[in-house]
Amino acid sequence: MNATLTTPPLIVFDLDGTIANTAVDLVATLNALLTREGLKPIPFKDALGMVGAGAKALIQRGLKANDVIVDEKRLDELFSDYIAHYEEHIADESVLYPGVLKALDRFEAAGWSFAICTNKLEGSSRLLLTALGVAGRFKAICGKDTFAVSKPDGEALLRTIAKAGGDPRRAVMVGDSRADVDAAHNARVPVVAVDFGYSDLPVETFEPDRIISHFDELYDAVEELSSVFHVA
């Protein structure tokens, strides 16, 4: 029998802004850091637009809003402090998006497996998913520091698929950003984009294969994309 046909199909999810709404905790940590540095905190409505490109970028944007620029060494120090504070408050307010658990249940019943490919640090990702009660549902949890490459490099997605025991010919990516869509395109894996995440531009700009506005729509979207490979 063809090994491809015996490999369970796999959905690879991004984390922040895709399956989990984490913005409140991310921004709270930024503001704790800024306040400690004697700078002005950023109102949430303004800071929300700064989220989505990773913690270092968020710190830089918060500093820039205070007319402060730091060198790489100082940025690394602030990043370490940010991560330490964030991990202590990993899920104070963070929650799974509506419909995520129901979607996972439905796909699991249909024989699908799951993985995470995020540009969040792997340790922080595991802490968050554990706090949200779903870490055990993923065959692999891969972060920005798991491999030598990260999204939008397609190799990060391909290595995540391999680590989860999947096959890229039977995999679908789900994300909310340009990095997610570009990684999928670069890996030649079909991609579904959610339109409620932390993208600075409308997700249709990045030309994903499908766009959904709620996790209740995910099964049908993935079913359409996976019709070219054997799912049973």
- The residues carrying an active-site annotation are 14
Give per-residue burial for 8-40: e unless 16+ CB within 10 Å, then b. bbbbbbbbbbbbbbbbbbbbbbbbbbbeeeebe
Neighbours of 72 (CB within 10 A): 8
- Nearest Cα to Cα of residue 22 among 51, 60, 53, 62: 51
Spatial distance between the Cα atoms of 23 and 25, rounded to a whole number of angstroms:
6
Task: Determine the Cα–Cα distance for residues 198 and 182; give it in Å rounded to an integer.
Answer: 15
Q: Are 21 and 97 in contact (CB under 8 A)?
A: yes
Six-digit token string for 122: 């792997």
